[in-house]
Amino acid sequence: MSTPQPNSLDRRLTELEIRSEERRSDVATLEEFVRGYENRIAALETQVRLMREQMVENGDAGERTLEDDLPPHY
């Protein structure tokens, strides 16, 4: 007795299920990537906020010009 061959509809369904699982894996990978960047951006925002607070505390809150950043030999 031989096993019946899957019909084309069964093969197609299996193929679609495999593709669906691959896409789920891709989405999970992308979500992890985006979460990592969100965390990095949040950390950078915190650092910038802390630096601004330090500048205000040190009295460096005024506007600077390009001339302020020139080395002394110019």
- What would the pLDDT profile of 23-44 be if each residue is shown by its tens digit? 999 999 999 999 999 999 999 9
Query: 50 is written with which tokens?
Result: 């802390």
Around 53, how many Cα atoms within 13 Å sit in the side-chain half-sphere?
A: 6
- Judge whether 35 lies within some domain: yes
What pTM did the predictor assign? 0.56
Q: Which domain holds residue 50?
A: 9-58
In a domain, 51, yes or no: yes
The total domain count for the chain is 1
Do the beta carbons of residue 26 and residue 34 sit within 8 Å? no
Would you state the pLDDT for residue 74? 56
* Rg value, the chain, Cα: 29
Residue 64 lies in a domain: no
User: Given this model, what pLDDT does residue 63 score?
Assistant: 64
pLDDT at 50: 96
Answer yes or no: are the C-beta atoms of 21 and 29 closer than 8 Å. Answer: no
Domain assignment present for 70 = no
